[in-house]
Amino acid sequence: MTTLRLPLLLAVGLTLAGRPLAAQSATSRAPACAPDNAGLTLPAGFCALVVADSLGAIRHLTVAQNGDLFVALRRGRDVAGGLIALRDTSGDGSADVRRRFGPEQGGSGIALHQGYLYFGTDDAVIRWPWREGQLEPTGPPDTVARDLTNRRQHASKGIAIGSDGALYVNIGAPSNACQVADRQPASPGQDPCPLLEIAGGVWRFDAGKPGQTQADGIRFATGLRNTMALAVEPSTGALYGAQHGRDLLKGNWPDLYSDAQSAEKPAEELLRLERGGDYGWPYCYYDPELKQKVQGPEYGGDGRTVGRCARARGPEVAFPGHWAPNGLAFYTGTQFPASYRGGAFIAFHGSCNRAPLPQAGFNVTFVPFTNGRAAGGYTVFAEGFIGAGREGGDALHRPTGLALGPDGSLYVTDDRGGRLYRIMYRGT
């Protein structure tokens, strides 16, 4: 359980002389972009700048209506976790005021909703009362949901809040495929998988009700290995999530899969998450070659058998294997061209297990939507985060969180280099 006996505020930045903390951010004019677009490759007409750098393992973020940014920070080797509030008072695009607060273990999920700032630690969702224009909480935190499953694998909690006050929390499965011996060659899967009672899905809580436990929540959707990227589609109120697929098809089942197949399978999935929906994990995975869900080898599959997986719900869009989706945001602004409006941006953290193929991901993709549903495949919108590196371990930057600013800019966090990017459209 998350303890709330913490210092309320640890300030690590100073206000400019004569300017109170409640002053509005400078948003009246658009800042200049970096000459090299901060190292990113973007579509024609777009450009980027660095808002802040070397912040630590920053995860998800949210943006206030005055342009203030609030970024979730996980604890690192040399940096305590918590939240970082950022403000640009000069209008040059760089955050010149910073504040740090919150629990030192840190977390990932973050959201502003009806006068509160919500934060997902590994075992709870807490919130502070918040007033527009403030960089500090206006009171101590309380706990909305506690005793959330927190084990070594996939402990991070992504969150999303609907306009109806529904609080959705990803509770990732601490497993690859729910084997008797996790990640061991030829070990069979547990059937039924006991982890699905406590993890491997999205739980729904009441965002306005303190003191809930996981047992008080509703298991909204199940069969989801790890769905850090969550967002509510604004025109319909439907919940969407992008799921991390499983690993080790070749490593654990070399007689059934080639190295190349294991690199590409299973697909990462953008899913429309519905109450009571079962999306198949650990029994099933989505095969991008066959374009359907098939049984995992731990459950009698041979790479082609559909069997029980005919009942598992499939994706709206499938992406290459092991890209690791971590952030999701719908574009509700008007700054970008009309073709982007209503669509979904997804931040991919990047792979480390696609050998012998090159490691991939490390990008932000775009999926067009029409009437609240995905309307086609995906395109890579922003890349170059990896820098000169070609492996996950030597990537300079790894996209993690996404959020829209009030002017329609897209913000991207990076939990490897601690960089916060702002992407804008300037026209062709």
Whether 418 is covered by a domain: the verdict is yes
Summarised one tens digit per residue, pLDDT across range 374-403 is: 998 999 999 999 987 667 678 999 999 999
Host domain of residue 45:
37-425
* Model pLDDT, residue 428: 76
Whether 4 is covered by a domain: the verdict is no
Whether 6 is covered by a domain: the verdict is no
* Model pLDDT, residue 13: 31
Whether 406 is covered by a domain: the verdict is yes
Residues near 156 by Cβ (< 8 Å), separated by ≥ 6? 59, 74, 107, 108, 109, 120, 122, 170, 172, 228
User: What is the three-class DSSP state of 311?
Assistant: helix
Which structure tokens are listed for 373? 């549903």
Whether 22 is covered by a domain: the verdict is no
Which structure tokens are listed for 87? 């403000």
Indicate the burial class of 255 (C-beta count within 10 angstroms; 0-12, 13-18, 19 or more).
Answer: exposed
Structural domains in the chain (count): 1
Q: Is 202 within 8 Å of 160 (Cβ atoms)?
A: no
* Model pLDDT, residue 152: 85
CA distance 168 to 298: 30
* Model pLDDT, residue 392: 67
179, 191, 304, 308 from 300: Cα distances, Å: 12, 11, 11, 10
* Model pLDDT, residue 18: 33
* Model pLDDT, residue 181: 97
Q: List per-residue pLDDT tens for the chain, 428 residues long.
A: 333 333 333 333 323 333 334 445 555 578 999 999 999 999 999 999 999 999 999 999 999 999 999 999 999 877 899 999 999 999 999 999 999 999 999 999 999 999 999 999 999 999 999 999 999 999 999 999 999 999 989 999 999 999 999 999 999 999 999 999 999 999 999 999 999 999 999 999 999 999 999 999 999 999 999 999 999 999 999 999 999 999 999 999 999 999 999 999 999 999 999 999 999 999 999 999 999 999 999 999 999 999 999 999 999 999 999 999 999 999 999 999 999 999 999 999 999 999 999 999 999 999 999 999 999 899 999 999 998 766 767 899 999 999 999 999 999 999 999 999 999 999 97
Task: Supply the pTM of this predicted model.
Answer: 0.93
Whether 394 is covered by a domain: the verdict is yes
What counts of helices (H) and strands (E) characterise the chain?
Answer: 2, 30
| Partners of residue 268 on adjacent β-strands | 319
Whether 26 is covered by a domain: the verdict is no
Whether 28 is covered by a domain: the verdict is no
Specify the CATH number for the domain of residue 216: 2.120.10.30
Residues near 350 by Cβ (< 8 Å), separated by ≥ 6? 323, 324, 359, 360, 361, 362, 363, 385, 386, 392, 395, 398, 399
